[in-house]
Structure 1
Amino acid sequence: MSATPAMPPESCLFAGQSGETVDLIRRFDWAATALGPLAQWPDVLISSTRLMLSSPTPIVLLCGSRGVLIYNDAYAAFAGQRHPQIFGLPAEEAWPEIAEWNRHVLAMGLSGRSMCQENLHLQLHRPGLQEDAWMNLYYNPLLDSAGHSHGMMCIVVETTNQIVAIEQRTQAEAELRSANERIELALNAGAVLGTWVWDIPNDRVTGDERFARAFCAEPQEAASGMALDRVTTAIHPQDRPLVRAMIERTIADGGSYRAEYRVLQADGGYRWIEANGRCELAPDGTPLRFPGVLIDIDERKRTELALRQLTQTLEERVSEAIRQRTQAEEQLRQAQKMEAIGQLTGGIAHDFNNLLAGILGSLELIQRKLPASENPQLGRFIDAAIASANRGASLTHRLLAFARRQSLDMRAVEVNGLVRAIEELLVRTLGEQIRLDIHLADDLWPTRSDGHQLENALINLAINARDAMPNGGTLRIETRNTQLDEAGAQHYQVPAGDYLLLSVSDTGCGMSEAIIRHVFEPFFTTKPIGQGTGLGLPMVYGFVKQTGGYLHLESQVGRGTTLNLYLPRLIAAPADLPHSAPRDAPRGTGERILVVEDDRVVRMLIVEVLEELGYQLLQASDAQSALGLLEQHAPLDLLLTDVGLPGMNGRQLADAARQRQPGLKVLFATGYAEGAEMRDGYLGEGMEMIAKPFSFEGLAGMLKAMLGS
């Protein structure tokens, strides 16, 4: 028996063969695998490996019971970036995503059976290559001379590109069928504007007569052929770049083409069309023909545009409505807050005015009955108390002004004259470091207001401006006529119409947005404690609103502040403007006056002073008692009554008294009363009003004017 020939050395096993995988086989540590060293490999495995390495087709061997992978250079390219990590690994570890398939293949090979699978779809994670792969796989077992299988040989023919090309062609054919269907529908509907064919290699576009009309070309020119650039010049300049890009993409890829754009018409206008076509390619991919059809979509596009504009307009209207509603809600919240504060401050001022009337009246009586020469030290204390009480009265007047509850003496006012009258006072108030700059309109309209309160408002604004310019600056006062339209009137919640503007501007420190939101709230001040009451601007705000105008504030930090007082125009002749001069307050001559006051202290003081002045007095604490006295002691010369009486109020009492004594003169005294803010709306003929707390000199002067004595 002859001996088995010895295996050649490992270095000679694959002599004459070269390549990356040949080097891998030679260097690989096969002893660490289930196959063992190369010297122990069976002949069938060695011969199969030599055959595989010499083939240009991707081939892989699944060797042994584990299916260890040995493959050639062509298969290495098929494996992508997984090579060379998978070389020498069991198939299940090398391709875990298809482990089940490889187990089936190995089982078939070890059992000695061949198999074939065409266009098998596998998802292979091959970095750098398409994951969806299609391939034809041909498997043969590795059988030795005894018929024993040592694994499976797999020949791989990847068909991915062919399958993808077929799918693309199928999709293109479907798109073509869809385009043909659209063309057929368009032809049936009579919406076709024309057809064309573009000979791409010769750049000649030919079209029918309707195509020529669509692109403002001569029919003969379209029939004989035009360059593409000649056709595209009729496309709207805004649409032209997109159309060119779509044509270039269609030529590069082949397949269908669809574009919507505007073309110039003979009348100078533009018409919307839809162009549908297809680029036909030669077998080598060269673009050859580009036939197509034009469809009229002008009406549809204009309808879409109108709908889009309507939608946009609707969105803008909704946004504007939301903005207006938000603004109205904010104004309502502010108005409710100011109204609530106004009611509170008005009520406090009413009670406080009655208290001050008693205090001031008592102090004045003491002062009258105690000559200063007898006790000068006591006289100074009385003067100080009166001054403090007057400051309290000023505070309540400001509260009432903010609350729009003060009693206003509404008359025709010539604002330019008012500004000139207090110019010297303003100069002294501002000091030497601040320049007063006054610009008054020559034709300024008159307004209807309380001149005294308007002066106070202007002085308050000047003081605020002075405090905002500690290092000096300019205070500018300007007047001019202006008009407020419906939109502006709605924003400021005043009637539209003519207004005169009184503007006060400074070059001071200005205010931030956070401060502006609170400046018209009472007791809000940015001044140090003890240097501001926080009632200056609220008083001005309330006064202007009460007179039917509005106040607008503009301010920037470091740039100064401007307050614009808009006062309603009064249509009045110059003769309507007031001309009054202060009068002295004389004593009475025995006139009979009925005093009605529910505050016992105030009533006592009024009676004491008026009797001292020479009047005959009757007194009552309520309306019913007063009417009884009127019945008993008629006729009277004058009724002096508080407005806010319990039960029947002062105006109701006056009306009832005049039914008993027509023409009876009535003087109302008020600390604050609902409905009595506008005197001419509350007072009738022969009626006047005096605000609490009042001085007895002021009361005596009012009585003199009314009684004519």
Structure 2
Amino acid sequence: MPSDAYRDIASLPPALRFLAGGGEATKLILERDWSDHPLGPPEAWPDILKTTLSTVFNSPESMILAWGDQAQTFFFNETYFPLLGPRLGWAMGAPFQVVWADAWQQAKPIVEDAFAGRSRHFIDLPWKLDTDRGKADTWFSFSYSRVLSPAGDVAGLFIFTNETTERVLADAALRESQEQLRLVNATLEAQVAERTADRNRLWQMSTDLMLIAAFDGTIEAVNPAWMLTLGWTEQALIGKPLFSLIHPDDLSHTIDGADEIAAGQNFARFENRYRHADSSYRDIAWTAGPGDGKIIAVGRDVTEEKIAAEALAAAEDQLRQAQKMEAVGQLTGGLAHDFNNLLTGMMGNLELLQLRIARGRLDDAERFVIAAQAAGRRAAALTQRLLAFSRRQTLDPRATDINCLIFGMEDLLRRTVGPTTDIDVISGAGLWVAMIDATQFESAILNLCINARDAMPHGGRITIETANKWLDDRAARERDLAPGQYLSICVTDTGTGMTPETISRAFEPFFTTKPIGQGTGLGLSMIYGFARQSNGQVQIHSELGHGTTICLYLPRYAGDALMPEEEEAIATAEAASGETILVVDDEATIRHLIDEVLEEQGYTVIGAGDGAAALKVMQSGARIDLLITDVGLPGGMNGRQVADAARMLQPGLRILFITGYAENAAVGNGNLEPGMELLTKPFTMFGLTAKVAEMMKYVGG
């Protein structure tokens, strides 16, 4: 409904007609959700509030109503809008002291006086406020008076207010202009006499540079500080163009500034570099503006400040580098510990297997094979968690119904956390679709539930809640996200909670509060990496003794979720029938392993150790049904470049990239073309053959 409609009583339901005439202010009232507000819905507000608010809304003057004798609810009319600046979108109905938090210390005693019956009137009272112009000095004229209920109790506070900043500054500028006019319009002798008599102490003794110049830059007056700061005498500067003293890189910027001052602009801080008499340059910060057709400016040498700031920035960079190296040390230490354990398991079992085979004892050889494979799978899981933490894991994002995914996990989650822990799932209605790797998401939810269970050693309750979230600029900034639409998935426990120190380190790799041997310290770091790689975020809210809530924020996907039958069709594979596959990998062991497995499946396999060798095979005219290539290859061509060149020779060729590291740029930043797939190392032979069979279904189709 347009705002003009809110001025017509007939356009509003009877219970809300007291809001008529408010225009955009009425619109803000109606658009706000009052269900959780202490005042409740507007229809149920007391008559005295309705009457007073109607007076405020229908007044052409700028008015505020602060309702309540404790936490005053803030109301305002349309005329007041320009004074709110960045607060306008959320201020209606918020607490007075929250809306004007940056001025509350100054306003509080005035409010208390008004509530005590000592109504006051102020003219041009200065305030330091955060406005739509940024932090600024402002001036206001206003009066405060209390509103009494029929019983004589204080019901609220009525405020008539008007910002007078523009007039106050204009008056000050006018006074300054008049003073400059008095000084400059006199004869040269009178000007010298006046400077000596009226400005001698300030002009002569100030260490700040003082300048009067024409709008074309001709210097008309300078103080002795120019000699102290820049080595120039007054005689050397009078009549000289100030632009001749400006550093060449700052000249255009300074000329533009002079033009803006000529147009009436004031500058609180204008920086440029001036040439010293010894040909060096000094950084000068100016306060400048127009006065009686001249440029009036006061400058301060900030060269040392800038040098100090640069030194501080360099020190901060060194500190950040030291912190990075400490994190790398922690990461490599934990990684070496875990991998040495896993390698010991793999190498030990393989050595034992070798001894048994040499002695002809094969009866329990399978036990050593299974143990070595288990250690290998654990090593693969460890690398995936590390890649997730560093946001380098290879994801397979698909349009996903999060509610459906969590519903399918409920039985697994309940079995995992055990009978002493209850799980509640609160599914948000109409939940949006997310473009995510479903497997990584399931792993994240499982990790969060296991952490929650461990935080409740005597049992408790885990709540998984999904919802749609619109994040405005402020909410997005608080979560380190871009504004927009997100899904939130929050896992809450009733456990022991975390200290602030634990929260600050929770996402560090290998950091854990669990006893040795009961946690790798990679669970939360993996979740953090998955969220960030999915263009989302994860946040922790916790209090000792009151439990923990960890929320995943994932961006909304505009399309529809993939249906279960589509997933099933993707997973369906067919048997091999003699197709030819070109395998490109510089690691001979892996290449021969793939050759062996695929040939056993009935495929014809051609191997190549680099991109050049692969292209020679393609150029030979041999019919290739599928190209399998590592992404990272030697010789100047990566796997994606080999694939593109192969498709130039054989359009429509199906490509399977294999990689142990997510070189996203090499494979198209996650946007593979049709007929291209990705398989992450380490993979099982079953996983390889299933993926190949799946892709072969479409060959020639």
| TM-score, scaled to structure 2 | 0.50
Larger Rg: 1
TM-score, with structure 1 as normaliser:
0.49
